[in-house]
Amino acid sequence: MVERDVTHVIFDVDGLLLDTEKLYDVVTQEIVGPYGKRFDWSVKVKMMGRPPPQSAQILVNELQLPMTNMEFLDKAKAGFARHFPTANLMPGVERLVRHLYNHGIPMALATGSSATDYDDKITKHRDLFRLFSHVVTGDDPSVKNGKPAPDVFLTAASRFSTPPLEMSHVLVFEDAPNGIAAAKCAGMWTVMVPDARIDPQMTKEAHLVIKTLDEFDPQAWGLPSF
């Protein structure tokens, strides 16, 4: 039975389409380790889904690092450039994306990553990522505020060649609580595929929570069935 009338789909990237979160962990620990610090989940979960400057500021504050957020990002740049191109797809991604594309469902990407980092991350998967009509990155001039503000999702929705009639016709896939908050603030439906370590209490705002994209049932949202 059709529960929602979805016409457009927007995907987050990190931790949802691409398995990049472990790469962030490696690079971050390389930087904080020499200061006797450990980058653990309690800090990471506060950073997830936020634009790089905000995320880095949380890290600096939480670990009391002797540097500014921008100094951290400068230190991380080389590590990210080295590791991001190795990113693999998360389970169920290729099947779902190609299915929606083959049925003419407009799809876009909305990520807090910079355009440069995004380009590095999709290195191994450019053919798949060409199926999206457009991507809005965190450094896009139209994105005044990062997640949990709705800017990135509203911008992504506005750039479809045929925009949705209402934001309630848009379905957003996210892995982070801040992303879910941003999409709901934009008036969109949400499917969350959280990291297994996230406290279940932090997933309750999503309209649907699944373990992997393999579990998603398009027909329940008014989309073509597999």
Set 5, 14, 195, 214: catalytic member: 14
* Residue 140 annotated among the catalytic residues of the structure: no
* Under 8 Å between Cβ of 81 and 50: no
According to DSSP H, which parts of the chain are helical? 21-32, 41-47, 52-63, 69-83, 93-102, 115-121, 126-129, 151-158, 177-185
| DSSP state, residue 175 | S
Beta-carbon contacts of residue 125 (< 8 Å; ≥ 6 apart): 18, 87, 89
* Residue 195 annotated among the catalytic residues of the structure: no
Set 12, 117, 140, 175: catalytic member: 12
Signed CA dihedral, 175, 179, 181, 183: sign only: negative
**Which positions are annotated as active-site residues?**
12, 14
